[in-house]
Amino acid sequence: MTRTFRNRRTALLYILPALFLILSLVFLPIVLNLYNSLFRWNSFDPGRTFVGLEYYIRLFKDPVFYTALKNNSLYAIISLVFQVGGGLIIAAILEDKLIRRFQPFFRTIFFIPSVISIAVVGLLWQLLYNPEVGLVNGALKAIGQAEWAHSWLGDSEVAIYAVVAVSQWQYTGYMAMLFLIAMQKIPFEYYEAAMIDGASRIKTFFNITVPQIKEMLLVGSVITVIGAFKVFDEVYIMTFGGPGRSTEVLGTMLYRSAFRNDEMGYASTIGTIVFVITLTLSLVQLKLGKSGQEV
Amino acid sequence: MKIKAKLLLVAMLALSLFVAGCSSSSSTNEEESGKVVLKFLHKWPQPEFAPYFEEVVKEFEKQNPDIKIKMEAIADEPIKDKLRVILGGNEVPDIMFSWSGEFARKFVRADAALDLTPYLNEDAAWKDSFIPASLQPFSADGKNYGIPLRFNGKFFIYNKEIFEKYNLEAPKTWDEFLDVLETLKKGGETPIILGNQSPWAAIHYLTGLNQKMVSQDIRMKDYNPGSGEFTDSGYVKAMEMFADLNKKGYLMKDANSSSHDMAKQLFFAGKGAIFYVELEEFADADKNMKGNWGFFPMPSIEDGNGSQNYITGAPDGFIVSSKTKHPEEAIKFLKFLTSKESALKLVEQIGWPSPIDGATNPDTALKEVAEGVDFMKQAEGMAEWLDTDVHAKVADVYLTNIQLLLDGSKSPEAIIKEVQDVAKQVQSEVE
């Protein structure tokens, strides 16, 4: 009895440093952020005024907040379709025995974008999207679709799609890679058995491949969706929320409030909302993820 | 007992790690050896500018062996964030960069800037060495809070070859300006090059138009965060005039998709006739166009209520932290930085116009830069950049909406309405 007790005390001793760090670097800031959102303050002035829930009320009345939410959701949906859906299809094609011997080549090609720094990607696409000298409009003209040419990042109607598209270009290959790894763990006997039974390729894909990599699909979707609500850098570099506020996402809205408009309290409020959204999504993940042992 | 001791040890270890992490940068060797250390923050880390500052600092340290300058440089955009972050902490530099106008007054309101008036009054020779229009934008309530380092004005530059082709001359009035643009457009040229990806580029047009359309008293009252209303009809008219340039097809297409630098390259390549630039860009223009360019200030507007003899522009400079322990030494350094020798070197070495009277002359600077400074000296006053002269939140409304004005999704009335709403909100927040 005393022994277990002692062990627990010792265990606590080992946990303590990490616990201390997590408490002070993760949990304390969350609580502080909540507290800060109740005050009007800026970094220039040491003084603060208590405003209570005023900023929360203002946020829910702020049209930009809904633009941001809409843009984040667009990010999530489009990313689910392209990164998870598209990634899965790419992975399935690469795993097909006809293509498999070229797989290393394609794998590298598809994976490259995801290892380039976002700052570089942002600047690169800014140039590609340029209506005068950019490659995108040039390519459209070359294939005879000149009327599709656009001022991609400069038009408040299409800019957000142009920004979201860059993300798809960058991360679809990454997702495909995750799915490939999962697929390679599926025992070949399953496919052999299916072949003997005369199942078509499509059928084996839906009845063997997809169920076997269910866990990875789930993880992929959750990463994508949470990532979509935390997105900041691509938008910051390519448009900074513009033209107007049309490409604003929660991340850039927070940044703008804090570091341009000197409203730290409002920024904290947005931070709290981002926290609530991502926490909810993580809880959903935990709930859905319970079925599996892997990951 | 043993465990308690262990526990204590671990706790102390964790704590000491934490404390060490927090206070790594406080004391330095120089302080111990009796030297005064001044922290100096500016915004020119670029390789073409940084050497100048290094040289000046080295020279100053040689002349003042008991003072050590710790210099840090952070680029234009990031320094806007950096200043906000450091002011919240305890590591405020003694001397730091600031734009003039509202940006500097923000420091003043927060009691973060040292009042420099007594130091300037003490040394009349120093005070008189500045062109008066360069000190004024750094003042609030009749006190001086900043020392200008460079002087910047905004001018239209034009491609001489294109102008000659159509027999055009630099316009003096807005109507003449419109005629010039119409001729250029009919000739199939792009009349004005504009890169508005960062919307300050278009806001600089509005800076001048607002100043020329709205009377000085009303504009100053509106630009003050405590009393801003923006109800004068001149604000809408100014914005309409700018929107008209776009509607009539005088501005480059898809301006929102090009950065100012990209636009500059287009202009240098002869792809457009007129481009609105700052004085500090003149050297660049001359390098790329070799005499094939001229310049003129924003033309006067006949029915404008503001003074027509103003130049758009403002000085950039430095403020001293109110928390500094060494105000005397900081002033000494600023005096050195703005001495005639340093100013001459600034003009010669990097081509910036200096606020020191006489430093920018045809011998040290490009002929056009010297002429530009003359324009500024003769002007009645300066219209400071709209985006740093009004409260940050008002500026934000102007900046984001000017892009929507250009892509046609918002009208001038709607934008000014939004400006008025924010101004009201700001008024209630600034005591």
pLDDT tens, A2-39? 555 567 778 888 899 999 999 999 999 999 999 999 99
Tokens coding A66: 């809904």
Q: Yes or no: say if B301 and B214 are a contact pair by the CB < 8 Å rule.
A: no
Instruction: Find out whether B404 and B254 touch, Cβ atoms under 8 Å.
Output: no
Contact at CB, A243 and B266, closer than 8 angstroms:
no
Distances (CA, A) of B117 to B149, B188, B354: 17, 55, 21
Res B154: pLDDT: 93
For residues A92-117, give the mean pLDDT: 88
Are B353 and B365 in contact by the 8 Å Cβ rule? The answer is yes
Q: Long-range contacts for A92-99 (Cβ within 8 Å, ≥24 apart)?
A: A92/A179, A92/A183, A92/A205, A92/A209, A94/A176, A94/A180, A95/A180, A95/A183, A95/A184, A95/A209, A96/A201
What pLDDT, in 10s, does the model give residues B253-290? 888 888 898 899 999 999 999 999 999 889 889 989 98
Spatial distance between the Cα atoms of A113 and A110, rounded to a whole number of angstroms? 7
For an interface test with B, give the residue of A155, A158, A163, A252 to mutate (most B CBs within 10 A).
Answer: A155
Give the H/E segment covering residue B76: helix B76-88
CA–centroid distance for A22 within its chain: 24
Q: Where are the beta strands (DSSP E) in chain A?
A: 39-40, 49-50
B92 and chain A in contact, CB less than 8 A: no
B392 has a pLDDT exceeding 70: yes
Mapped onto helix, strand or coil, the DSSP state of residue A119 is helix
Asked whether the beta carbons of A227 and A205 are under 8 A apart, the reply is no
Q: Which of A20, A130, A244 has the CB atom closest to B400's CB atom?
A: A244
Percent of chain A with pLDDT over 90: 50
Residue B138 DSSP class:
G
Residue B26 pLDDT: 43
Q: What is the pLDDT of residues B206-220, one digit of tens each?
A: 999 999 999 999 999
Chain B interface disruption, residue of A32, A259, A263, A268, most B CBs within 10 A: A259
Checking if the pLDDT of B8 tops 80, the result is no
Q: Is B424 at the interface with chain A, CB within 8 A?
A: no
Q: Please state the pTM of the whole predicted model.
A: 0.83
CB-CB under 8 Å, A256 with B396: yes
Could you give the CA distance from residue A117 to residue B417 in angstroms, rounded to a whole number? 41
Which tokens go with A20? 């201390």
Per the DSSP assignment, residues forming a β-bridge with B42 are B73
Mean pLDDT score of chain B, rounded to an integer? 88
What is the rounded distance in angstroms from the CA atom of residue B378 to the CA atom of residue B360? 14
Q: What percent of chain B has pLDDT over 90?
A: 55
Examine the pLDDT at B136 and tell me if it is beyond 50.
Answer: yes
CB pairs under 8 A between A and B: 108
Tell how far CA A231 is from the center of its chain: 6
CA distance A130 to chain B (A): 6
Interface test with B, best of A261, A263, A266 (most B CBs within 10 A): A261
Q: Which residue has the tokens 């330095």?
A: B28
Say whether B36 sits in a helix, a strand or coil: strand
How close does chain B come to A44, measured CA to CA in Å? Answer: 6
Show the tokens assigned to B103.
Answer: 């940006």
Three-state SS sequence of B290-351: CCCEEEECCCECCCCCCCCCEEEEEEEEEEEECCCCCHHHHHHHHHHHCCHHHHHHHHHHHC
CB contact under 8 A, B3 and A43: no
pLDDT of B58 higher than 60:
yes
> Given CB atoms, is A16 within the 8 Å cutoff of chain B?
yes
Burial class (CB in 10 A: 0-12, 13-18, 19+), B14: middle
pLDDT at A291: 54
The ipTM is: 0.80
pLDDT at B206: 95
Residue with tokens 């999207």: A129
Interface test with B, best of A7, A16, A45, A54 (most B CBs within 10 A): A45
* Cβ–Cβ contact B88 with A under 8 A: yes
**Phi and psi based region of residue B39 (left: phi greater than 0; alpha: psi -120 to 50; beta: remaining):** beta
Question: Which has the higher per-residue pLDDT, B334 or B142?
Answer: B334
For residue B359, give both structure tokens: 């430093």
CA–CA min distance A32, chain B (Å): 15
Cα A272 from Cα B406, distance rounded (Å): 35
Nearest residue on chain B to A58, alpha-carbon basis: B425
Q: Which residues of A touch B403 (CB under 8 A)?
A: 154, 156, 242-244
d(CA A25, CA B279): 47
Instruction: Identify the CA nearest to A229 among candidates A182, A167, A187, A181.
Output: A167
Asked if B251 and B194 touch (Cβ cutoff 8 Å), the reply is: yes
Q: Average pLDDT for residues B20-39, to the nearest whole number?
A: 60
Q: How far apart are CA B357 and CA B127, in angstroms?
A: 11
Distance CA A185, CA B171 (A): 75
CA B260 to chain centroid, in Å, comes to 15
Distance CA B86, CA A135 (A): 41
Instruction: Determine the pLDDT at residue A42.
Output: 80
Among the partner-chain residues A40, A45, A154, the one whose CB lies closest to the CB of B256 is A154
* CA pair distance B190, B251, nearest whole angstrom: 7
| pLDDT of B162 over the 80 cut | yes
Beta bridge partners of B146: B319
Q: Give the integer Cα–Cα distance in Å for A257 and A249.
A: 12
Question: CA-nearest residue of chain A to B18?
Answer: A21
The pLDDT value given to residue B27:
43
Which two tokens mark B205?
A: 């047009």
Q: Once rounded to an integer, what is the mean pLDDT over residues A229-258?
A: 91
The distance in angstroms from the start CA to the end CA of chain A is 36
For A263, phi and psi rounded to 5 degrees? Answer: -120, 80
Least confident of A101-110, A241-250, B9-18, B32-41: B9-18
CA distance B101 to B143: 13
Find, in chain A, the residue whose alpha carbon is nearest to that of B255. Answer: A154
pLDDT value for B431: 62
The secondary structure of residue A150, as a DSSP letter, is -
> Which of A168-172, A281-285, B304-308 has the least mean pLDDT?
A281-285
What does the pLDDT average to over A53-74? 94
Contact map slice: B 43-82 vs A, CB within 8 A? 80-81
Q: Does A263 touch chain B (CB under 8 A)?
A: yes
Amino acid at A235: V
Which residue is closest to B84 within chain A, CA to CA?
Answer: A43
How far, in Å, CA of B412 to CA of B400, rounded?
13
For B418, the token pair is: 């939004």
